């Protein structure tokens, strides 16, 4: 973690406190996301949902304009910008870090111009010109591991050692960011649950999440409502709340600092219980 004091993430002048778990609320402004697609079809509905999540305790709002579920239809940059930008603009002044969930340089550029504080790139900032674009912006960055692309990632993913390969990918990306002069206090890492991983891979990554601590960066996880939870419980997307909260709590116990979720209120409660029990004895009131 940066420095010797309390852990934090620098987000363009804002400091996101990570001395206790932070919750990132998902705001998909897409017609086809696997769980909330089409639910926030107008800017007003999207902003209302963002405000609700902040009231429930979300510290970050993650705005996404393209579904990355397996086999999702890619959208072009213009369409993605048209979905995301009005919402990012309308979130100006909200009491949360505003993150944009995109792999596209053009979308990042517009969102940063409109005031976004963070870029969450499921492609690990590998796109052409992406690192150069974000380098000087001061924004926070989430670097995620994905094997393949959303179109191909479900096609029989295979690893020798999934944790070792995710770690080595993330190490390489951190090196590229460092070489571009990006301060480590701006960067968090994500193993990418469900992105080119089987159920066995996802379970192993969660069980060994603490190994990612070797990277020295805050770990963000996105497990909410994902198909691994459906495979384990037999429940469809709308019935995965309890499983998602359980998975998030396991992730926190294994060192995650930020939890990305559609179910903010329940996850904030779980994080509060975790933080209270896990805090050093002297810090408990
Ligand atoms: N998962 C999704 C999207 N973005 N970003 C990070 N950092 N980590 C994740 O695990 C992650 C992510 C997929 O979930 P969702 O946004 O709900 O679905 P869709 O891609 O269908 O919009």
Catalytic member of 39, 260, 276, 284? 260
- Find the 46 Cα to ligand 1 centroid distance in Å: 17
Annotated catalytic residue 197? no
Query: 30 in ligand 1 pocket by Cβ < 6 Å?
Result: yes
Pairing mode, strands 8-11 and 14-17: antiparallel
DSSP-assigned letter for residue 214: G
Ligand 1: residue of 260, 261, 262 to mutate (most ligand atoms within 8 A of CB) is 260
Residue found under tokens 């492609």: 123
Helix (H) or strand (E) holding 51: helix 43-55
Query: Cβ distance 249 to 206 under 8 Å?
Result: no
Residue 171 a catalytic site member: no
What is the model's pLDDT at position 283? 60
Distance CA 148, CA 162 (A): 14
Helix axes 77-90, 105-113, angle to 10 degrees: 20
In this structure, which residue's CA is closest to atom 21 in ligand 1? 33
Instruction: Find, among 195, 216, 221, the residue nearest to 206 by Cα.
Output: 221
Residue 8, SS3 per DSSP: strand
Interval between CA 103 and ligand 1 midpoint (Å)? 12
pTM of structure: 0.95
Tell me how far CA of residue 181 lies from CA of 100, 185, 221, in angstroms.
21, 12, 25
Q: Which atom of ligand 1 is nearest to the CA of 120?
A: 7
Q: What is the pLDDT along the chain (285 residues), one digit of tens a residue?
A: 444 567 999 999 999 999 999 999 999 998 887 777 788 879 999 999 999 999 999 999 999 999 988 778 789 999 999 999 999 999 999 999 999 999 999 999 999 999 999 999 999 999 999 999 999 999 999 999 999 887 777 788 889 999 999 999 999 999 999 999 999 999 999 999 999 999 999 999 999 999 999 999 999 999 999 999 999 999 999 999 999 999 999 999 999 999 999 999 999 999 999 999 986 665 655
State both tokens at 47. 């902003």
Nearest to 59 by CA among 275, 272, 278, 258: 258
How far is residue 30's CA from residue 65's CA, in Å, rounded to a whole number? 5
The DSSP element (H or E) to which 271 belongs, if any, is helix 264-278
Q: Which residue has the tokens 């509060």?
A: 272
């Amino acid at each position: 973690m940066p420095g010797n004091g309390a852990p934090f993430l620098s987000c363009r002048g804002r400091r996101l406190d990570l001395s206790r778990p932070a919750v990132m609320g998902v705001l998909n402004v897409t017609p086809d996301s696997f769980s909330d697609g089409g639910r926030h079809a107008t800017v007003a509905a999207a902003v209302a949902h963002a405000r609700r999540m902040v009231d429930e305790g979300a510290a970050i709002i993650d705005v996404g304009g393209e579904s990355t579920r397996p086999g999702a239809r890619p959208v072009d940059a213009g369409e993605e910008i048209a979905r995301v930008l009005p919402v990012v603009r309308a979130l100006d002044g909200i009491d949360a870090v505003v993150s944009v969930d995109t792999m596209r340089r053009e979308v990042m550029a517009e969102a940063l111009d409109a005031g976004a504080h963070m870029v969450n790139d499921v492609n690990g900032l590998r796109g052409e010109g992406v690192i150069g674009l974000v380098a000087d912006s001061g924004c926070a960055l989430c670097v995620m591991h994905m094997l393949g692309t959303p179109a191909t990632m479900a096609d029989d993913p295979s690893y020798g050692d999934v944790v070792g390969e995710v770690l080595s990918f993330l190490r390489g990306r951190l090196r590229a960011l460092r070489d571009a002069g990006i301060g480590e206090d701006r960067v968090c890492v994500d193993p990418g649950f469900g992105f080119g991983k089987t159920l066995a891979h996802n379970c192993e990554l969660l069980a060994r999440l603490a190994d990612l601590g070797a990277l020295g960066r805050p770990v963000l996880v996105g497990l909410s409502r994902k198909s691994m939870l459906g495979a384990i419980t037999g429940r469809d997307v709308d019935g995965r709340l309890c499983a998602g909260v359980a998975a998030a709590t396991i992730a926190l116990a294994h060192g995650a600092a930020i939890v990305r979720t559609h179910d903010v209120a329940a996850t904030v409660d779980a994080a509060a219980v975790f933080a209270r029990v896990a805090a050093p004895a002297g810090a408990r009131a």
